[in-house]
Structure 1
Amino acid sequence: MAIQPKFQIGRKSQQYIASKKFTNREGPRTVFSDTIKDIKMRGITDEDFDAIMYYGVGGIGKTSLQNQLKKDLLELEPNALYSTVDFKDTALHSPPRALLELVREVSYKHRIQFPHFEIAYSIYFYKRNPDISFNEKKLPFEKELGIVADIIGQLDGLGMAGIVSGIVGKVYETKKNWNLDKEVKVYLKELENVSVQEIEEQLVAFFAFDLQKAINKHQIPNTVIFLDTFEALWSGLSNKAVVHTKDKWVRDLIGSSPNILFVICGREYLEWEKYDSDWKKIIKHQMINNFDDKHASQFLEHCGIEEEAIRHKMITSSGGYPYHLDLSVDTYFEMKNRGEQLDSSRFGSNHREILDRFLQYLSDQEIETLKIMSIARFYNKDLFQHLLTEHPTGYAVTKYDDFNKFSFITSESDKRFIHALMRQGILDYSSKDLIKSVHKTLADYYAGKFAYEELEMDQEKEIETLRERIYHQKSYLTQRQFIDWLSGEMLPTLKKLQLRGESRFLRETLSELYRELGAKGLGISLMQILIDMVHLNGEYEQAIAMIDELFEGSDTEQILESQQACHLFIRKIHHQMFSHPVDPLIQELLEIEPILAKKNWPKEYNELIFMLGGNLGVLSGKVTFSRRWLVKAIRYAEENNQMNYYCRALRKYVDILKINGHIKWAKEFCEKGIRIAKENGYERYGAILVVTLADLYRMGNNYPLSEELLEKGMEMIKRVGIKGWIGHIHGSYAEMYFQKGEYEKAAEKWQEAITIYRSINLKWGLIVGAIGLERCRLQGAEIESIDPMEKWLELANVLHYRREQEFIGRTTRGEMGILALPFL
């Protein structure tokens, strides 16, 4: 109490200590033990998938249950293996980081290695953080994950930032004692040439492979992966368009891990059956209820509370919720240690009063410090000291460890977490001004961390720091102020992340605001970033709808008054070209071309004339029209020193030459474009130009050189991560096999191309792929099912693809000449 002096005999010695014992939960524990026994009884060749979802409200005891299940597991099977991820730590919302945590715990406890996963993670980490040297990389768990440290050290020795080519071969040659699998080498080598996003998606597979291999090698009888605070994955997120993406990697992990039990604890029933009906059979849902009177009384007796009247008061006031029973027990023993009279009337009658009674036995300094720390989502020693320096409470900054002794504070690595119910309860006692002030302090703290450590901060840590900064900034600003801050001070950082392709983080940050405010409320600068991330995910129709919403109520003249709006107007047509009729799109651009020609917006104007000549013109099959606009685009790019547009226009000009049969000239222009791309670091344009050159050699029957260039192009395109262009490579291979008379192989390659085109709804690719398959069928290739050419002719007519209409006519007439492929 406030009137008591700071120093009291027995205050810290605590003569009486609660002996808290896990109570009840026989049903949930039986489900767990029965599942463990079922898995153990399976034969070597039997494979099944297992998950238990324990769900219930906060404070119901799910984490305590999970801790007890770990003890039960080792009692049932002492040689069992388990690992845990608790999603209350926002850093673990990143799938690679969560997988690394699972590996770290297993490696630390059991000395089991995950060599293939660690090689894959090393490549991922190095590609994601290309600009900092090894000694700055501050690897997570470097001691436990020696392979990661070893490989990144070797990568640094190569001396080329972000370049990992050849590292897998080198590791396989020099690290024979790592027991590396020869078959997995092929998949690891592919990671050297793919994007960071693709590696991230594949890490689950390498983790699952190594785990299964370790289970077989060490004859581990049972393996369990525990996932706690599962609901935290969606904290602050209600946009249904991206909800399913947050736990997709968990579904993939379970689907890759037969005979491994996944125990998930969270607040809500998992509705995974909406993704696949099989999940309904796999997941055993167990709702966790509050203690009934009998079990609540047993728990309190085990704790040492002998007075029946006090037990009864605690049970009725807590409603049997373990968190509130725990708090009541802490209050009881605080009173007992002080030598105070123990009477049921001195204990709270409801949840709020339980907290009130508990707080009576804290000093003012402890209460005020608890208020400050509860505003942070987590804290460590540095943040604890910073907050108490900025907001002095009278509590010594040196008493960090003493403060963390409260039963409602848990730790994960160097972070401390206050129980969510305690945080909420204590914040109800805090003034709005204090909460706002501390949120500002926290936002400034993370801003300072970002500014000070940016050059040596790995990108996962950078995202975690930015996530906390944005959370606290949003918490003390009005919504309008927050939007202004994002589109002002934070815009350069968001644009940097946009260029880096941080789609998950940017969509998390902006999607919720977009849902609440709409496109106009979010503003054009932030909408440009969000639309780009949506486009990056292949959601072209969604991108179009968002642009339409932004421009609603504005006519073309009004849109063209703004350079940013004009850019989005042209981008919308770019999105539409994949699946919309081409002639109206050309007409839209022709109508605004004279207006843009008078403005000093070189980037937007070149984008327009390139679209007319390059993409839309070639798609329409109007070769003369296309050539005229492409020549203009090339000259304009040269005059304005826009070498990136110069490269792009040259590539499409090569397509026109290819269509007209001018192969020699096409090669010369193509090689010129490749030189310019290389000189200026335009890897994206260089990649498709190399594939275009390969296709020219294919048309000239120079198959060895064509194959060599296609292989090179595949490596380059995987690095830049453009899915449709991989489809184009399969198409070029298909036609090469067709020209060589290998029709079955040609059909297989066209099927691969079509699979990619279908995944991104690229109508041109689907039509050309159908033509290619029909040509193979007419030459005797066995194809299980194929749509009639009439269907594709109708689609080509609708989309105004004149050249494809002509090709369908030739194919149905049995003409089998060399097929020119002007890649979109």
Structure 2
Amino acid sequence: MPIQPKFRFDSPPDSAQRYFTDRDEPRAIFAKYLNANSTEEHQILNFYGIGGVGKSRLITEFVNSVKKSDRWTPLTLDMAQANLHESAAALLNLRNQLAKALPKFKFRSFDYVYATYWQKLNPSIDLSDSSFDILENSDLLTEIGTNLFDTLEAVPGLGIINKVAKLGKKANSAINSWWLKRGCSITQQLEQKQSNEIKLWLPAYFAQDIHDFLDEYPQHRVCVFFDTYEALWENNTSAGKFFEVDEWVRELVGHLPQFLFVIAGREKLRWLETDPDWNDVIDSHILERLSDKDSTLFLERCGIANNTIASAIAISSEGSPFYLDLAVDSYRKLLSSGKSPDITDFMGKTPRELLDRFIRYLDRNELASLKVLALCRTYDVDLFSALMKAFETGYSPVNFAEFNRYSFIHHINEHDFTISALMKRAMIDYLEKDTQIRVRSFLYHYFRDKITDLALEGAKGFSNFDNVSYYATDLVFNNEKRFDYLMLCGRVYQYQTKMADALAQYEKAVSVADSNLIEVQQARIEIATTQRQHGDEVAASRTIKKILEDCIVEPSDEIKGKALVQLGLCYYSLAQTKHEPALIEKCIECYQEGLELALKLEDAKQIVYTKLSLSTAFESIGKIPEAIELLHECKVLAKKNGFEHQYIDCLNGLARKYIIIGEYTTAIELAEEGLKRWQQSNFKRGQLVMCCHLLEAHFKLGNPKESVTEILTDGQTLSEDVTETLIIQMFEKSKSLWL
């Protein structure tokens, strides 16, 4: 599209925020306040939401509705105007709006105090200077000009206080009455005050004039609208001075319970942090996105009749009116340039103007923090702190709660947060590719390092693994990291009894390892384990024997020890299914040789795993005391080293052995603890084994069937996911006791 200026005489007369769409709920809330008759209790309506969500348009709609009322007068302050950030200027603006709207309104106290403030701030400027034209329709200053400027009292050195004091004695009856009621006491209050002290009192004197007017016209109501409220902090971002910035607004509101105040900004008002009583009078409402239906309706009204294009824009906009405005402008520009708009014209980057709207009023440190957080699915205080430190954003982790008050931050729960999807997209679209890669890489390793035990990971719903998988997308790994990732995926899928998925990941790991024989062997051990657990002991045995042959070529005690234990497990399974006791002897030989290697390497986890397997073999040949002794040794070692999975395996083994020796109550206690732990980690295979023990122990104790109804149901459900033949046979046997 050729370059075109933004402001053109042939542009459509209606610019983008064209139609007030939806917002029925905010309008109903505002209407309720307009129709209320309360003039004694403070009323503050607060609408907040992300930039571009339509707050200013909502304020405009409210102002228009107020203008239709005979009872109400609207006053507006758009804090995007930097000159209104200063309290005296903002109050002067309100004063002039009210004087123009209601000529009967006289601001004698405020005009007197403001003129005093102004002259103390600018001592070289006399009241006759044109600067005082800023006080529109001021009968007080008019009287000063009429009665004093043509006398010697008008000499430049004579200040406003002296002039008003003299005026009070010779002015018209209205001003003389004000002088007696207000002016004399104000003079006494002002004489010793400096300009900065007088400035703090301006809201009080403004309110004093309001009260005098409403005493005479009690039926009249005023609504003050603050828009873009967050802009007040544009140049005042210090956390320590945060509440000082809008203290004058709270002071004004406190003086005027008769007014309705409507404050729109990006963040929810935090006044209750200065005084909890504000919570009773502030009615805050977040302004959410437009619905897809209303977004589409908006686009149709703007002339986008193509349903496909309108739908694409509506979905991409995620309900942001500002985004929709920009899309309509783009659509019209395409038409004016002679092109026929196509859906692909609206599927690129988010408009730069949208990002600019989002990040307006953010300081450099906040913006740097947003850049890294935009790439997070979610974050909590720990991740936030780690990112701020790693990328030196300049934002202190101590201010975590402060940061999360922004309206573009969504609170998922008490601990987890995320940035709104549209803000994320806008940030990422204009974020340097190198920065994206560095942040994603950091996030990948942050969550990868958290996965140390699959049982503990399962107890968390595999949330860390989900994050690892998410951040791995689009990252380019070297072979070492790629291998680690594939092996992790395989183990998690194996744990979740997704055996086909696990095998696929391990096969990829073998391919990635390529010439690194140790890594190839590690992957093959996991393949053999998965094959065995999938019920294919013959295939598993072939895989393991190949591993052992390769260990002759490139010796590795670690690989050989693990392979021997897996071979022993294959022999054990085959012995049970084929009823060949001789295979148990081979099984025990493999375990004992594997245990020697694990002890030599001082590999605690492998020692526990091997002893657990050996205890099962001892059970099958009647060596129950020896098996129980091994299991107690394993339990102590597993607990000492934090091996959750192996610890629960010990509970499983002990439950089984106590059933054999007739200690059924102890067996039930052990199996119930084990089942609870496996349920927390969502390990289905382990849960099914514990169900088998519970079914058998309860049967042996002669307990009624009602005591195991839930166990039977859960076991049946679990058996549909578990594929290991031996375990399925165990369940069928235990279940049959109750049928």
TM-score normalised by the shorter chain: which range applies? 0.3 to 0.5
TM-score by length of 1: 0.40
User: Larger Cα Rg: Structure 1 or Structure 2?
Assistant: 2
